[in-house]
Amino acid sequence: MISGWILLSCVSGLLASDMPKRPNILLIVSDDQGYHDAGFKGSDILTPNIDKLAGEGVVLENHYVMPQCSPTRASLMSGRHAIRNGFWKGNIPPAGEWGLRLNETTMAEMLKRNGYKTHAVGKWHCGFYSWQHTPVQRGFDTFLGGFLGAQKYFSHKRGAGFDLRENYYNEQGEFVEELRKDLNGVYNTNIFTDRAVQIISDHDQSDPLFMYLSYTAPHHPFEIMGSDLKEYTGHMSKSTSKRKTYAAMISVMDRGIGKVVDALEEQGMRDNTLIVFFSDNGAVMGYPGSNYPLRGGKHGLAEGAVRGLTFVNSPMLKTTGYTNKDLFHVTDWYKTFQALAGDKPKKANKEQLPLDGMNVWNSIAKNQRLGREDILINMRVPEKIHDDIPEPRIEKRAPRDDILEFKTSNFFVIRHKNWKLYSGRYLLQGWTSENNLDGFKGASKLESGVKLFDLDTDPREERDVSASNPGVVEEILAKKEGYEEEMTWIGKRPNTGKLKNNLWKPWVEL
């Protein structure tokens, strides 16, 4: 249960007396990258820098994220599961009048109150209907990127609307919005890399650095420079053109990550920097990514949707070069960074809402067991959706959410130890092939009832063993009530945003 996470967080924190103090933190998130889509996973995609960092660091085999972009990012930024921060129903659409609630203390706010310089680069996707919901007003000192969930890589547009901006407060304390139309035609992965390198080069090392480098690659639309396509995919003769483009997008991101790490080395910051890399969810079924050998992909609930490609790298780690098979969750990074920063939330001016993650430092740094048994994948409860009353938050307007990609109703999906249980009515997808060379196996369809898989013996989720394990099913289903009690309810959320002068920007004054 969620409360169990909190108890485990407290216990874990007590064991971390030898944690490094206020290290630099480089948090890199890729977008819709498949579980199999890096060289160290056996892919034919060229990722030498990622492979080196993973090989010399710690690979997290069971790092769970949410099935979609916004819920993962909101859970990361808040340290709270999507069922508690209001993102359990899905993504924020471009015109959606809702976002990460303002009473949530973001990771950037928490680190900033502990002396960190905080910078966000790339994709936001945690809401922008008011300026108060945008990165620089959520704890980041600077932001260069897009507010929405996707954009074209050269024109930086979503539809007809432009969405590449730079935000910061100037020396007079005035909020600045600079539209970076001068970068029209420049590939955005390169823009984000160059900005990250600049931030590192300009950083005053008397303060610790937190950089959230949130690439849009390899999220669609699938676009790439012709020269990069030629350089990175000449060996992929059996792949489709779209797969080659997707692969080159990842390779260009990998090249950028190499430049960022080189910048840390050049500035003498590498030894005191923790690098965390993960994909926000699995590759989309039907697109060119591969989650092999796992089942499913983005928007679903199977392992291919919610096990992000993840590694950690730092000279501060005591044990490296191995794969850690503990159960991790995206909310853990908040609690871990909080411990590294030496934060004392009870002394903060803003009330800290209860966190759902664990301080995982001893697990990743020393390969010590976490002791976690449960990971809530997601749940949906129709009774928690109210059309006619405001949400329990401090914004002035009640949002609604009528973006529901798959017409599921009431489901509860959870991992307990080696078991994965599905109940209710839920989307269950098929499988992608290795390197996506042989297409897809099994159709995506809505299922009803209970299914149980033993991930130790059946990691591909092919054999339902619920009938032969009724006691296990009963034990796990008994957990649902506790999670439901922790769920935040949500209102209906209108899509009221409109382009103005072909620009995406906040439209509601709070």
Tokens 């999906």 belong to 413
Helices (H) and strands (E) in the chain, counts: 13, 21
Residues contacting 266, CB < 8 A, separation 6+: 201
Q: Catalytic site residue 10?
A: no
Q: Which one, of 378, 277, 370, 287, lies nearest residue 325 by Cα?
A: 370
Tokens representing residue 319 in the block: 């044990």
Is 126 an active-site residue?
no
CA distances (Å), 500 to each of 81, 93, 148, in order?
A: 34, 17, 15
Instruction: Let me know: does 240 contact 287? Beta carbons within 8 Å.
Output: no
Residue pointed to by tokens 């996506």: 436
Q: Which residues pair with 162 in a beta bridge?
A: 157, 503
Is the separation of the CB atoms in 163 and 148 below 8 Å? yes
Q: Tokens 């928690």 label which residue?
A: 384
Q: Which of 36, 63, 69, 329 is catalytic?
A: 69
- Going from the C-alpha of 98 to that of each of 82, 132, 354, 463, the distances in angstroms are 14, 11, 21, 40
**What residues contact 410, with CB distance under 8 A and at least 6 apart?**
380, 381, 382, 424, 425
Helix (H) or strand (E) holding 146: strand 142-146
Give phi and psi for 291, each to the nearest 5: -105, 15
CA atoms within 13 A on the CB side of 397: 17
Residue 168 bridge partners (DSSP): 142, 176
Which amino acid, one-letter code, is at 187? Y
36, 63, 119, 125: the active-site residue:
125
DSSP-derived secondary structure for 215-245: --TTSSS----HHHHHHHHTT-TTS-HHHHH
Q: Which residues are catalytic, by number?
A: 69, 125
